[in-house]
Every structure is written in structure tokens, then in C-alpha cells.
Amino acid sequence: MSKIAAIVRYEKPLESVRKAVDLSHGLDDLHPDAKVFIKPNIVFWTRTVPFPKWGVITTSRVVEDAVILLKERGIDDITIGEGGIASSPRDKETPAHAFKTLGYDLLKKRYGVKTINVFERPFEEADLDGFSLNFNTDIIHSDLVVNLPVLKTHAQTVVSLGIKNLKGTLDIESRKKCHTVEEHEDLNSKIAKLPNNFPPIFTLLDGIFTLERGPSFDGKAHRRNVLIASSDILSADMVGAKVLGHDPQEVPHLVFAARDQNRPTDLSDVKIVGERIEGVASPHEYAFPYNEEGTLPLPFEKRGIRGLSYRMYDSTMCTYCSELNGAILMAISRAWKGEPWDDVEVLTGKMMKPTPKKNKTILLGKCIYEANKDDRNINELIAVKGCPPLVKAVVRAFDQAGIELDPAFLEDRDKIPGLFLKRYEGKREFDESFFKIF
């Protein structure tokens, strides 16, 4: 049994991360000349409003602790890099604002680390056993990746941990390419292969805050104070999944990864040190609730919304449509005036098929438009062809379907994350200082 995973309770700055590193032997034998790439998880950022970062973004506390432990080993060449989600990869200000707000500029001054937005750096193609994706060159050519994801669930992939965190080093085309339709080459099978061409990876799951219905600000955060560390990324993820209440066997990308490596998913080949899984685990929901038929979000059904079918997202919807999708659902909820709409169906992603006899069918996004534009089951086809769709086109399409969305609400959707802060008001355990460097 050569794989070790450490579970440690987070108790105090530096010492808790040190304990996780020591118990897992994660930074043993590291040469002082090594080039180290730290990959946090900044899945989302906005400059417009403060928003809940708990369980969404890696705490700056853990990032600084990791830097200190590397410096103690004499490492000078440290890069912190992320390709987080601004609405556009051309947007350089939002990632810079994220790095500054999270205190990474101070880490630069204090420890001489470099920070990079991967969209400002070159990418190179890597073959992943039958398909290729473009990865950031800095991470691929480092000697060690210190992978610092958040311990969170994910609405499409059940959990988003060490393996999934590597997706943030891909270029945009490759990210879109991951969300394919083919049965045996879907999102999960592709994600499973992400680590294949990487240098050694030390993964430390930051579970000071965890997240239900992740990966972003609309999930529900918990203060759990747990760290999970391993030099074997799959072991870290399988333990992480268990701690979030999900058996690895029920997490498709972990099943694919285990199968690729001829490993069991029952953790029988992993030595767990530190805390016991049962001592820190708690159930975390990953999917947003829908009605029994899967045709409406449950809160819509409870409000009595009728005349609309807006099916549950599937894994073929990529990040850029997902980001807009949540805002559209909120805009629809605001547009409901109690009068049933005209039997409208909205299809998203790449593989949904129209339900016969609907009056109007909105095909939201280039992918679903291409997949269904000639389908004879559609009475009135309303197309939104963009990739990702433009707000103007979305508003026009829903207007044609008799659903009046507020264009300003969608144009200013950068403000939406701020609305979710209310959930955490007055709860002292949700401490913003974890996302600052002092």
C-alpha cells in the first residue's frame, strides 16, 4: 500500500497545513532548485460586488501556508497560476483584481512568488490517450504542482477536487471540448485523464469551508475545518469525495480515473493517516433540486410557474453557457406574473431533444441549435445561436416566446453574486479574513 492520504483538522495558521504536508510526505525530497507551480481554485470572480467566497475559492490562508512551507525547503521558483472564470478570457482586469484582493500581490512582495493569469501565457497541446487538450505551458513544465482545490461538490461532476481543478489550466477551446456528447468520451471520462501529462502533483484539499451544490457562489457553504493531503491525486479525491458524503464509486470521473489506473475505488489501496474519514465526513448535496419530471427547478414548481419547461442542465453544457444559464433562470423567476406561459420549452447544452407538441422551443446556444435546428417535433423554433449566447439575443428569444426578461438584470449579472451574501449575514464562522493576506 504505497498511497498515503492525510486528513487533518484545520486549527491554526501554518501549523495545520504543515501537519497535513508532513503526514502525507507531500513535500519530501524536494530539491531547492525545483520549479513549483501552485494551482489554487478561483473558479469565479467579479470586480463589481463583494460575493461569498467560502467553499468557492481556495482560502488565501492555505495558499500562504503552502508558500511558506516551500520557502522553508529553499524553493525560490514559485508560480501561482489560475485561469479563473471572467466572462471573457480577454478580460485581464478581473483576474488581476482577484489576485490583488486575495493578497497574492503581497505574497509576491513578501516571498518573491510570481503570479500568472494562464490566459496571458502560452498553451501547448498534450495528448491524453485518444484526444488532445491545450494546457498552460508553465504548469506542464514545472517540477511539482502544488494543487490547492477547495473541498466542494459540483452540480455536473458530483465533486470538484484535485483532478477537476486542473481544468482551470486549459485554454477556452479545450474547456469547451471537454463537454462532449459521445457516450464513452463525455465530460467525466475526459476530466479523469487531465492529470496524465502532468509533472508530480501534491494535492491539498482546502476544506476550511466546503460547498454544497457547487462549484460557485450560488452553492451553500459550510465551515468544516478539514484538510486532506496526498501526493496521489486520485487518493486525495477519493478521500475528499467520501468526506463530502459521496462514495467514489458514485463519482463518474473518479471511477474512470481508477479504471485507467487499474485501482479500486473503495480506498483499500490507500493508507489514511491523521483523522478518520467518519470523524470529519458530512453529507453534501451536489445537484440543484428539480421537479420529478426534471422539467422545472423545484422552486419554480413550488411557486406554481406553468407553461414552461426548462430541463435540468446536463454535463454537455460548458462553463460559458452555465454562467449565463443561472442568470436566465433568475430572470425568468422575476418575470413570472402568475399567468401561465404559452407552453414554451427551453433546451440547453448539446444533446437535449425537443418534446413533441410544445408550442415554442427555444434552442439556447449554438450547440443545441445545431443539434436540433431541423427537428420536425418543433412547432415554432426560436434560435439563440451564439457561443456563448449574447444577452440581447436571449432577451429577444424569450420575448418572442412571451416571457419578458429584464435585459438590465442580465447585462448586469456581475451583480448577482452579491445577492447570495445575505445567506451568511451574522454567521461569524464565515470569516472573510481567510481570503486576505496580512
Site residues (vs ligand SF4, CB under 6 A): 176, 317-318, 320-321, 349, 365-367, 387-388
Buried b (16+ CB within 10 A) or exposed e, 189-219: bbbbbbbebbbebbbbbbbbbbbbbbbbbbb
**Angle, vertex CA 216, rays to CA 292 and CA 48, nearest 5:** 125
CA 179 – CA 191 distance, rounded (Å): 10
Output the smallest distance, CB 85 to ligand SF4, in A: 12
Output the smallest distance, CB 13 to ligand SF4, in A: 40
Q: Which is nearer to ligand SF4, 60 or 319 (CB)?
A: 319
3-state secondary structure of 150: strand
Which residue's C-alpha cell is 497574492? 104
Q: Which is nearer to ligand SF4, 366 or 396 (CB)?
A: 366
For residues 229 and 21, is the Cβ–Cβ distance under 8 A? yes
Q: Which is nearer to ligand SF4, 239 or 332 (CB)?
A: 332
Output the smallest distance, CB 349 to ligand SF4, in A: 6
Short-list 288, 388, 382, 370, CA closest to 341: 382
Output the smallest distance, CB 71 to ligand SF4, in A: 40
Output the smallest distance, CB 179 to ligand SF4, in A: 6
For residues 434 and 61, is the Cβ–Cβ distance under 8 A? yes
Short-list 73, 62, 80, CA closest to 209: 62
Q: Which is nearer to ligand SF4, 121 or 366 (CB)?
A: 366
Q: Which is nearer to ligand SF4, 254 or 347 (CB)?
A: 347
For residues 7 and 272, is the Cβ–Cβ distance under 8 A? yes
Output the smallest distance, CB 52 to ligand SF4, in A: 25
Output the smallest distance, CB 345 to ligand SF4, in A: 17
CA 312 – CA 329 distance, rounded (Å): 11
Residue ranges in 346-428 assigned as alpha helix (H): 366-372, 391-400, 407-411, 416-419
Q: Which is nearer to ligand SF4, 354 or 388 (CB)?
A: 388
Strand-pair partners of 152: 160, 211
Output the smallest distance, CB 25 to ligand SF4, in A: 40
Residue ranges in 184-230 assigned as alpha helix (H): 187-193
Which residue's C-alpha cell is 454535463? 315
Output the smallest distance, CB 260 to ligand SF4, in A: 26
Q: Which is nearer to ligand SF4, 24 or 156 (CB)?
A: 156
CA 207 – CA 10 distance, rounded (Å): 8
Q: Which is nearer to ligand SF4, 243 or 371 (CB)?
A: 371
For residues 145 and 160, is the Cβ–Cβ distance under 8 A? no
Q: Which is nearer to ligand SF4, 52 or 215 (CB)?
A: 215
Output the smallest distance, CB 363 to ligand SF4, in A: 10
For residues 15 and 4, is the Cβ–Cβ distance under 8 A? no
Q: Which is nearer to ligand SF4, 306 or 366 (CB)?
A: 366
The bridge status of strand 308-310 relative to strand 344-347 is parallel
